[in-house]
Amino acid sequence: MGFSCGLVGLPNVGKSTIFNALTSAGAKVENYPFTTIDANVGVVAVPDPRLDQLHKLFPEKKKIPTTLHFTDIAGLVKGASEGQGLGNQFLAEIRNVDAIVHVVRCFEDPNVVHVDGALDPQRDIEIIETELMLKDLETIEKRARALASRVKVGDKSIKAEHDFYLRLQEALAHGKPIRSVALHEHERPLLKELNPLTLKPVLFAANVGDAGENEFSKTVEKLAAARGTLAVIIRGRLEAEVVEAAETEEERRVFRHEWGIEESGLERLIRAGYELLQLVTFYTTDGPEVRAWTVPQGTHAPQAGAKIHTDFAERFVQCEVARWDELVKEGSPAKLREKGHLYRHGEKYLVQDGDVIHFVVA
């Protein structure tokens, strides 16, 4: 799997429309809040021209791309952290994703009501951010209270942990998400069980009308930049209609080209997600498959091998690495070896984006 992300936003911002455009899953879309009452989950193959070219070298093998999981979470409203709307049920869904895609309405349509009246991207963004922080504040306060009694009776081993939660509590109370708090490496494991919402990276999807970029989407881009993250502009309704009208990706590209859309919303979102999460893709051509794998930047070879099978980490000896473009150019690993372009590395090797790796195990 590449990564997973949850689509969040106010009701009627077009989350399910964008979900349909991204996944072709056909989620229900209607003009009233809470159309999505269960979290829709879609799995899509990550478009990968490099994998396509590698597969041409081994046409007899099965091509398996890495995948992206989307979860379309019901519209959140002011008070969601306290159970308003569909509340806690869907805030819990967000804990299971790698990143949050915050869908912001940037289109005007009198036939689609806005729950808070006139369009205002900044207000909408702040409502969702506040609800996520309030939910985290509730979680952190609960943990801090649980530890406070042990601190009072002199349990020194727990004081540092208690102080850590108090520091997070103060930041959240002042409107600062946990990802903005400087964390020490020994503190990060303390958050693993809690899996706070505002620790997750966020990127914004500005859902615009058929005409494309507008003053509202430009506001979203500025707000994203101010938060140190990315914004992707998606013509949600138009792209969903293209997906519905065309059966093949080639046909969809023709339709999108006619509308001046050179890159699909899915492709833009994937690119932004990989950048945000600092992910790289490597490839394997052994056995019956030509396959793409996704790992974080800075992953050592044995840990990358563990994505394939735990034996590749536990019994790792070395790996042979080729660059995907050199392999495509030469046509086979044997020719690469003849030219000295098949490189051997040990367990300290950091996997690079575009590596084609053969793992050698004992």
Residue 76: domain span:
3-48+63-120+199-277
**Pair 98, 193 in one domain:** no
Contacting residues for 325 by C-beta, under 8 A, at least 6 apart: 50, 354
Distances (CA, A) of 175 to 50, 56, 113, 162: 43, 52, 29, 20
Residues 338 and 223 in one domain: no
Question: Is 295 domain-assigned?
Answer: yes
Do 99 and 213 lie in a common domain?
yes
CATH code for the domain in which residue 334 is found: 3.10.20.30
Q: For residue 137, give the CATH number of its domain.
A: 1.10.150.300
What was the pLDDT predicted at 25? 47
**Structural domain total, the chain:** 3
Could you state, in chain order, the average pLDDT of each consecutive group of 10 residues for the chain (362 residues)?
84 86 57 45 87 94 89 68 50 81 90 77 93 90 89 78 93 94 90 90 93 93 95 90 80 82 84 92 94 95 92 90 94 88 93 95 86
**Domain-located, residue 126:** no
Taking only Cα atoms into account, the Rg of the chain, rounded to an integer number of angstroms, comes to: 23
Residues facing 357 on adjacent strands: 321
Among the candidates 179, 197, 215, a domain finishes at 197
DSSP letter for 156, please: G
Same domain, 93 and 209: yes
Residues 193 and 205 in one domain: no
190 and 211 together in one domain: no
Unique residue bearing structure tokens 């690495």: 321
The answer to whether the CB of 324 falls within 8 A of the CB of 290 is: no
> What is the structure's pLDDT at 89?
56
Domain boundary among 277, 302, 335: 277
Task: Judge if 205 and 349 occupy the same domain.
Answer: no
Q: Are residue 193 and residue 327 in the same domain, yes or no? A: no
Residue 127 lies inside a defined structural domain of this protein: no
**Is the sign of the CA dihedral 294, 296, 298, 302 positive or negative?**
negative
The angle at the Cα of 331, spanning 328 to 334, to the nearest 5 degrees, equals 120
Q: With contact defined as beta carbons under 8 Å apart, do 234 and 18 qualify? A: yes
Please indicate, yes or no, if residue 150 is contained in any of the structural domains: yes
The answer on 187 and 229 residing in a single domain is no
Q: What is the pLDDT of residue 90?
A: 57
Q: Say whether 283 sits in a helix, a strand or coil.
A: strand
In one-letter notation, the amino acid at residue 281 is T
Of the three residues 277, 308, 339, the one that is the final residue of a domain is 277
Same domain, 273 and 283: no
Same domain, 298 and 326: yes
Q: Nearest Cα to 286, choosing from 245, 243, 320?
A: 320
What is the pLDDT, as a whole number, of residue 117? 74
pTM for this model (two decimals): 0.83
* 153 is a domain residue: yes
Query: Does a structural domain hold residue 233?
Result: yes
58 lies in some domain: no
Interatomic CA distance for residues 60 and 109, integer angstroms: 50
Structure tokens belonging to residue 40: 């829709």
Secondary structure (DSSP) of 184-207: -TTTHHHHHTT--GGGS-EEEEEE
Same domain, yes or no: 343 and 204: no
- Residue pair 206/221 in contact (Cβ under 8 Å)? The answer is yes
Residue 93 in any domain: the answer is yes
Q: 162 φ, ψ to 5°?
A: -65, -40
CATH of the domain at 70: 3.40.50.300
